Structure 1
Amino acid sequence: MSDTDGESERETGSKSESGNNGEGEEGGRNGSASDSGFDRANAVDRLEALVDTVERDRMPVPVREVWAFGDVALGLDPVERLDIYLTKDILLRDESTSAAGGSGGSDEQDPDARFQESHGIEGVGKSVRADWAEEYPEFLRANANGHAAPEQCLAAHLLGNEHGAGDEPIHLEVCNASFEDNVTQRLRGAKLREDYTQLLDPRGVCLWADGTRSDEAFRKLRESELALPTLSAALEMLGMEDEEATTAAKELHAWREQQDGVTVRGDVV
């Protein structure tokens, strides 16, 4: 389902149809962009800006892959929600100079203690890079336990202040596993729990991996050249039975339609 040329909030029709014509499960949405979505050109511009930021800026954790999936990969116009997947590394050792005590010697307060004092957030230098937090303190975010949350920090940096108001219709998935591996993991978990809102839409295109941008993937997105199946058909290709795939597709679409603004979901596999 994927085209390889190219740790927070979760998010029917003919199975032979390509998403490029805007019909079938994802149908009925062609036309000019509404206030709640992107027209196609702007959606792809938004993806390019995000990849530019990943390439240019220090990130809170190392990012290995950037994927686009869902509506934008199907060639729909407008794109009601822009779905993005980031593969990140878990920060086992912070290579930041400041994480080792900075340049101020042994008397300098360690970054974890410093940011607990200044921001009330734990884990700087442990779950997110200390030098990133010092350069971009406005993007530092915590989970419900007050610990620095890599997926929320990434969302703030990539989707917030500089590029927009933070209320764009964008869903960001962040995981330490690759997109294709996590599709399989999430499918298994969703089936076991019978919670299909946990599924990861398998129809994706890799835009950037290990420092290399796929210009061909961006071209295909701009020209709506990707020929991908409906969601239920894609799920059947992954081993779901026909009836279950149809039910799962309907539930995932229904959950998606309830989302508003930026949503973020993080996984650790």
Structure 2
Amino acid sequence: MTDLSRDEAIDRAIDIVDTVATETMPVPVREVWVYGDVALGLNPISRLDVYVTKDILMRDAAERESEFESRLGVEGIGKTVRAAWAEDHPGFVRANSSGHAAPERCLAAHLLDEDEPIHLEVCNASFDDNVTQRLKGARARENYEQLLDPRGVCLWAEGQRSEEAVRKLRESELAFPTLSGALEMLGMDDAEASEAAAAVTDYRERQDGVTVRGDVV
């Protein structure tokens, strides 16, 4: 696994923001966050964690679904991902295991190179809301691997960049607690927070290359 320097990670995050801000995405994107090690100012970091808040595509070009299914072998184009995007970027179209267009996989294909040490989270809920939802689910199942690290920084929202957030990232001005400390602030006791933090860290260290997860809340 190849580590990234903090500057490399921040530059890569800015590249992702630039792409989202200037190019047509497979689905509408509202926010781009980074979280975890890069937000803490660690240098180097083993993986860059990126969170994208998307809108569910409501109206696009459903009448073209069969056309794209014939051409690309993927269902749902024009319904779950934009037909115009698929027309321009057929090589980035990705499907889930049932053969339907998967917005999170399409976003990952467009935004990331396959061998980059980057994890992409994609959800229709904002970062803070999804942190809460994932925490509830993890505690109910007593399975903490898929917890979302709550230590995040918003770089782009509703078409606006946060230059101040980028500056603070570069200068390591953001003050965050340890992961277990952050989880305690969300309601876990010390023992549970330590167990959960260890599970998240262990899971993260086992990942390699690009990974992606899509949620609907």
Alignment of 1:1-269 (within 5 A): 36-94=2-60, 99=61, 110-160=63-113, 166-269=114-217
- Relative to its length, the structure with more helix (as a share) is 2
Quote how far apart the aligned CAs of 1:93 are: 1.2
Larger radius of gyration: 1
2:4 match: secondary structure:
coil
Q: Which runs of 4+ in 1 moved over 6 A?
A: none
1:85 is aligned with what amino acid? Y
1:266 match: secondary structure:
strand
Q: 1:220 & 1:182 partners in 2: Cα distance?
A: 24
Quote how far apart the aligned CAs of 1:198 are: 1.6
Q: 1:56 & 1:70 partners in 2: Cα distance?
A: 26
1:256 is aligned with what amino acid? R
1:201 is aligned with what amino acid? D
Q: 1:263 & 1:90 partners in 2: Cα distance?
A: 21
With the length of structure 1 as denominator, give the TM-score of the two structures. 0.79
Q: 1:167 & 1:146 partners in 2: Cα distance?
A: 24
1:124 is aligned with what amino acid? I
Q: 1:227 & 1:80 partners in 2: Cα distance?
A: 20
RCO (CA 8 Å, sep 6+): is it higher in 1 or 2? 1
Q: 1:141 & 1:176 partners in 2: Cα distance?
A: 18
1:47 is aligned with what amino acid? A
2:37 is aligned with what amino acid? D
Question: Percent identical across equivalent pairs?
Answer: 68
Deviates more, 1:35-44 or 1:133-142: 35-44
1:198 match: secondary structure:
coil
